[in-house]
Amino acid sequence: MSLFKRLLNPNYKSEKDPQKGIKSDRSSYYPEQKLPVDEKFTHFFKNNGGKFIYCENWEEAMEAFDNIMIENDWYEQDVFCMEDRLRKKFDGFNLNFVNKVDSKFVLTTCESLVANTGAILLCSNQVKEKKLNELPYNMVVLATTSQIVENISEGLRIINNQRSPHIPSNITTVQNFESEKEKDFMTQGSSTKNLYLLLLEDL
């Protein structure tokens, strides 16, 4: 049973401690057991305040997106979206796709999902040269399970391999999704976003 199906099963109880990655009844002398990257990402992403929606197929993704639009009353609003393929995919939702930063929300894909921090890795392919604090507060990110990587170094390596020799000039991560959450010295200066992640199964 995959991680995301287990998360949707209320009767499932993990044997692992999400903080330490080991079984709670194991001796401290046993070697540490690492969590799978998908489980690690989910734990840290939700801990950061992100809203996570797992979708087994496109139909579920479309339904989840529709629910987000209804919940926030975002229909017939300006949407910041730089990707033509996304505009085509979501063309039937009566949205006004623009490149204006004062839009109601951002609709975007991403480069990677970083497991060890729960962050979303973006580059100029999604947001051009815009800084995070210039983008709308609300974001809807469409990603796939195959985009989950262990750490940011792995994500940057994928960008380098795919984009070479034209490496994007603007590479950034979104990690702080909760304005009420007390910031520590690691999150000072970060741009808080109200972020929904539509995670599509592709493995």
pLDDT at 2: 53
CATH superfamily, region 36-178+191-200: NagB/RpiA/CoA transferase-like (3.40.50.10420)
- Domain ranges for the chain, please list them: 36-178+191-200
Give the whole-angstrom CA distance, residue 175 versus residue 155. Answer: 15
- Which 3 state secondary structure label does DSSP give 176? coil
CB-side exposure of 141: number of CA atoms within 13 Å? 31
Give pLDDT, residue 164.
54
Distance of alpha carbon 19 from alpha carbon 36, whole angstroms: 13
> Considering the entire predicted model, what is its pTM?
0.79
Rounded distance between C-alpha atoms, residue 127 and residue 106, angstroms = 9
Closest CA to 46 of 153, 189, 180, 178: 178
Q: What is the pLDDT along the chain (203 residues), one digit of tens a residue?
A: 455 554 544 444 444 444 444 444 555 555 556 778 999 999 999 999 999 999 999 999 999 999 999 999 999 999 999 999 999 999 989 999 999 889 999 999 999 999 999 999 999 989 999 999 999 999 999 999 999 999 999 999 988 887 556 677 789 999 988 654 444 444 444 578 999 999 999 87
Element spanning 46, H or E: helix 37-47
